[in-house]
Homo-oligomer: A and B are copies of this chain.
């Protein structure tokens, strides 16, 4: 572990995609690493310099010791293909998206043999991380090489995260329910308009809090969960068919009253 790039204070970390999540990563790593970030949007220099991160070209970022791909699902494959020919032997490539099967396959297919690949999914966002990330959960899937043990140790030891080692397939099965259900409920309730906040029960307050945590998520997150997770459709169909069943049951019992 001593020789691991992840545990080496002078290691460089490059973030590709400097949106809300890329910035959250920077905020928690900037004390420990030399940080570079690349984003296609040109308006991020100020945000970056506040976080102690240098905005750089994709070519520069791709030469870091650890490369964190935090791009939306839609551009994930093109980003991976762009860095594949430039990244250095021994580099660790980490992704952080909400689905794991598809990005892991893309990284495994296009990245050169001489890099390590660790697929991760921090099970939190800017909202749930507002009061710090200690104790929050992160899924870690070993894809290639043994660096996942260093990544997991770092996340546990230095960031205080609860690390769940799993496979991309098992991750996507669980996430389809966990994230799929949360976002479906949030979408339905937010479409219903402003919810009561004064005369509420404890359980309703918990549901409102859950919704407020995901309501400002980028649209790409919902898109990723619903269209890029191979198990999302099944969960959605079960959710809606249970809802339809309950609806018919209540309509029927009304008719018989």
Contacts and interface: CB of A to CB of B under 8 A. Distances in A.
* Consensus secondary structure, chain A interface: helix
A181 B191 contact: no
Nearest to A206: B210
Interface string A213-238: 11000000000001100000100101
A177 interface: yes
A185 B185 contact: yes
Contact of A188 (B136, B196, B200, B246): B246
Contacts of A86: none
B201 A178 contact: yes
A239 interface: yes
B123 A199 contact: yes
Contact of A238 (B164, B192, B200, B214): B192
Interface in A166-202: 166, 171, 174-175, 177-179, 181-182, 184-185, 187-189, 191-192, 195-196, 198-202
A174 B199 contact: yes
A154 B124 CA distance: 43
A257 interface: yes
Contacts of A257: 227
Contacts of A214: 203
Contact of A189 (B139, B166, B181, B200): B181
Interface residues of A, number: 56
Contacts of A136: 202
Nearest to A180: B204
A192 B227 contact: no
B201 A137 contact: yes
Contact of A201 (B182, B184, B187): B182
A140 to B, nearest CB: 11
B201 A179 contact: yes
Contact of A192 (B164, B198, B202, B239): B239
B196 A178 contact: yes
Contact of A243 (B198, B207, B240, B250): B240
Contacts of A199: 123, 137, 139, 164, 166, 171, 174-175, 178
19 contacts: A123-B200, A123-B202, A174-B198, A174-B199, A179-B201, A181-B195, A181-B204, A182-B204, A184-B246, A185-B185, A188-B239, A191-B242, A203-B209, A203-B211, A203-B214, A206-B213, A210-B210, A227-B257, A236-B247
